[in-house]
Amino acid sequence: MAKKLWEKNIDVNPEIERFTVGRDRELDLLLARYDILGSIAHSTMLESIGMLTTEEMTELHDELRNIYSTVEEGTFIIEEGVEDVHSQVELILTRKLGDTGKKIHSGRSRNDQVLVDLKLFTRNELKGVCEGVKSLFDALIEQSDWHRDVLMPGYTHLQVAMPSSFGLWFGAYAESLADDMLFLQAAYKMCNRNPLGSAAGYGSSFPLNRTMTTELLGFDSMNYNVVYAQMGRGKCEKNVAYALASVAGTLAKLAFDACMFNSQNFGFVKLPAECTTGSSIMPHKKNPDVFELLRAKCNRLQALPNDILLIMNNLPVGYFRDLQIIKELFLPAFESINDCLQMATYIIRRIEVNKEIFDDSRYDAMFSVEEVNRLAAEGMPFRDAYKKVGLDIEAGTFTPNKAIRHTHEGSIGNLCNKEITALMENIYNNIEFGKAEEAERALLKR
Ligand code: ARG
């Protein structure tokens, strides 16, 4: 049996095959379960328009669900000589069911198959990322609440500036994640539209029922215009990558702070020994490698939208094989971001903060603005108060009053963590994951 879907009577050149298949046989394994779900929906629809008999559809469904089980067990492979997951699934169906297997490709193309696979894959992965972001958010808010009264220096230009607090520091990253969640929500919505039925990118002369496959697969709607549906290849990945990059930006910055504040020269936070690594030569070392790797991985993730953009940017309308390469960058990104989110959450829950930072007189000048404000509140014009405190500092006669009082919204004494949590939950709880899961479960039920 020919292993290429398009093989006619000319042998395939092995070098050309190697180059064109690329890493598909390995990467497409990540799409296998979604390819099967798409095929169950497609064959159900084919039966409804009389392109398959009910018996043929049932046979196909049984076999597709068997293949799904092999994916779950981890025994599904894409054989040598088979190009991609779409070919492998059709090959298995045809080996098992003969002509019935050969009928499933009516009214579709691998172009819309891979499109639908990617949408289903991404939809599912985004759910995991959102959960990971929410867990880290919860850990940050918890730390912020616990340490609401522990002061730390705030910097501008990396010069000691004004009093800040651990409540503010942890809470800032929580609020940053709430904004990142907005991107994830938009990415989820954009990706939750059905491209199936666009076939090679121009539809089909069969009377396909795209509304039906949209409902069966639990999509919010379809990508209506078949040409646009195909244009979504690359665009969807790029926009999702922007959302992942937004999360990665928050994580990379947090990681940098943590590395810096953990250094002996700052000594603001301490990682528990189990969260550090040692040196082969310096016996005293407890290095923050986890945060360093997190920073590097997240910096790389921030390049992802650009990497994708550079591949697809100058393509005109219609499918091109260029798009295949995007999978190499895009599919592994989820494992990477999830890993980073998980490690960040683990460490943030365990990080210890220094409650005695301000016992050190090097931070005294940081209370200058507090003193200026105190004098101004007593009636001295701000500019005069500013000058007086400045001269006191120069003369070495300034004594800081460390009992500070910041009361406005979002400041040391009024973190607004409840409001920040409401902001996050309002976004997170409005991403509707349930519909997709229910639809997928229904397709798999025998
Ligand atoms: N492996 C291909 C991809 O990822 C599948 C689609 C192949 N379509 C084609 N016209 N060659 O794009």
Kindly state whether residue 296 falls inside one of the protein's structural domains.
yes
pLDDT tops 90 at residue 38:
yes
pLDDT band at 287 (very low <50, low <70, confident <90, very high): confident
- 46 and 189 belong to one structural domain: no
- 26 and 96 belong to one structural domain: yes
Give me the percent of the chain exceeding a pLDDT of 90. 88
The better pLDDT of the pair 116, 400 is held by: 116
SS3 19: helix
Residue whose Cα lies nearest atom 4 of ligand 1: it is: 324
- 174 and 241 belong to one structural domain: yes
To test the pocket of ligand 1, the residue of 24, 87, 111 to mutate (highest count of ligand atoms within 8 Å of its CB) is 111
Q: Are 341 and 363 in contact (CB under 8 A)?
A: no
- Give residue 57's pLDDT: 98
Kindly state whether residue 432 falls inside one of the protein's structural domains.
no
- 159 and 270 belong to one structural domain: yes
Domain span at residue 55 reads: 14-105
Residue whose Cα lies nearest atom 5 of ligand 1: it is: 110
- 134 and 75 belong to one structural domain: no
To test the pocket of ligand 1, the residue of 236, 324, 327 to mutate (highest count of ligand atoms within 8 Å of its CB) is 324
Kindly state whether residue 9 falls inside one of the protein's structural domains.
no
- Give residue 114's pLDDT: 98
- 269 and 131 belong to one structural domain: yes
Kindly state whether residue 400 falls inside one of the protein's structural domains.
no
- 35 and 173 belong to one structural domain: no
Kindly state whether residue 378 falls inside one of the protein's structural domains.
no
- 159 and 272 belong to one structural domain: yes
Ligand 1 centroid from CA 372, angstroms: 67
Give me the percent of the chain exceeding a pLDDT of 70. 100
Kindly state whether residue 88 falls inside one of the protein's structural domains.
yes
- 47 and 172 belong to one structural domain: no
Residue whose Cα lies nearest atom 11 of ligand 1: it is: 321
Tens of pLDDT along 41-76? 999 999 999 999 999 999 999 999 999 999 999 999
Last residue of a domain, one of 105, 127, 153: 105
| Ligand 1 residue neighbourhood (C-beta within 6 Å) | 24, 84, 110-111, 114, 319, 321, 323-324, 327
Ligand 1 centroid from CA 223, angstroms: 19
- 97 and 65 belong to one structural domain: yes
- CATH number of the structural domain spanning residue 93: 1.10.275.10
147-151, 163-167, 272-276, range with the lowest pLDDT: 272-276
- Give residue 427's pLDDT: 98
> How many CB atoms are closer than 10 A to CB 179?
14
Ligand 1 centroid from CA 377, angstroms: 70
Tens of pLDDT along 197-220? 999 999 999 999 999 999 999 999
Work out the angle between the directed axes of helices 110-146 and 434-444 (0-180°, nearest 10).
130
- 169 and 149 belong to one structural domain: yes
- CATH number of the structural domain spanning residue 242: 1.20.200.10
Last residue of a domain, one of 305, 334, 358: 358
Report the sign of the C-alpha dihedral through residues 324, 17, 102, 203, in that order: positive
Does the predicted model carry a pTM greater than 0.85?
yes
119-123, 251-255, 284-288, 403-407, range with the lowest pLDDT: 284-288
Q: How many domains does the chain have?
A: 2
- Give residue 282's pLDDT: 80
Last residue of a domain, one of 52, 75, 105: 105
- 244 and 159 belong to one structural domain: yes
